[in-house]
C-alpha cells in the first residue's frame, strides 16, 4: 500500500499501486473536486479538468495525451498541473487539490 497526503484536506489516505489518484480518493471518501464540480464532473474520463491537482512530492509518470490536451491552456500558466483521474499512483505522494 502507498500513501497520498492531501494538503488542503489535511488527510493521508492509503492507495493501491496503479490506481488513479481519483480512484484512491473516492475509495477513501475524500472529494478532490471544488464546489459544484463535486456533482458536475466527467467521472474520470479526462474531459472536464475539474480534478486538476499539483503533485508536490512523489514520482509519477509523465503527463499523458489526455492531460496535455485538456490542460493545454492552463499548462501555459502552470506547467505542473495534472489530472487526478489520469495520474496513476506509483509512489507515496503529496498532492494539492482545487488548483
Ligand atoms: S474527472 Fe473530469 S477530467 Fe478528471
Q: How far is the CA of 2 from the centre of ligand 1 (A)?
A: 22
Q: What is the CATH number of the domain that holds 37?
A: 3.10.20.30
Q: Could you give the C-alpha distances from 50 to 17, 30, 35, 90, 92, in angstroms and in order?
A: 23, 15, 10, 22, 23
CA angle 19, 21, 68 (to 5 degrees): 100
Residue from 25, 40, 44 whose mutation best tests the ligand 1 pocket (most atoms within 8 A of CB): 44
Count: domains in the chain: 1
Write down the pLDDT at residue 96: 96
Q: Would you mind telling me the total number of residues written for the chain in this entry? A: 99
The number of the ligand 1 atom at minimal distance from the alpha carbon of 70 is: 3
Write down the pLDDT at residue 91: 97
Write down the pLDDT at residue 39: 85
Write down the pLDDT at residue 25: 97
Domain holding 75, by residue range, is 2-96
65-98 pLDDT, tens per residue?
A: 999 998 888 888 899 999 999 999 999 999 999 8
**Residue 62 φ then ψ, to 5°:** -60, 160
Q: Per-residue DSSP letters for 39-94?
A: TSS-SSSSSS-TTEEEEEES--PPP-HHHHHHTHHHHHH-TTEEETTTPBP-S-EE
Helix (H, G, I), strand (E, B) or coil at 96: strand
82 close to 60: Cβ distance less than 8 angstroms: yes
Amino acid at each position: 500500500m502507498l500513501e497520498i497526503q492531501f494538503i488542503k484536506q489535511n488527510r493521508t489516505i492509503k492507495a493501491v499501486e496503479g490506481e488513479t489518484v481519483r480512484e484512491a480518493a473516492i475509495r477513501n471518501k475524500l472529494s478532490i473536486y471544488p464546489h459544484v464540480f463535486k456533482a458536475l464532473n466527467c467521472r474520470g474520463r479526462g474531459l472536464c479538468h475539474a480534478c486538476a491537482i499539483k503533485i508536490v512530492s512523489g514520482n509519477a509518470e509523465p503527463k499523458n495525451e489526455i492531460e496535455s490536451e485538456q490542460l493545454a491552456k492552463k499548462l501555459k500558466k502552470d506547467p505542473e498541473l495534472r489530472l487526478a483521474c489520469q495520474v496513476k499512483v506509483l509512489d507515496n505522494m503529496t498532492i494539492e487539490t482545487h488548483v
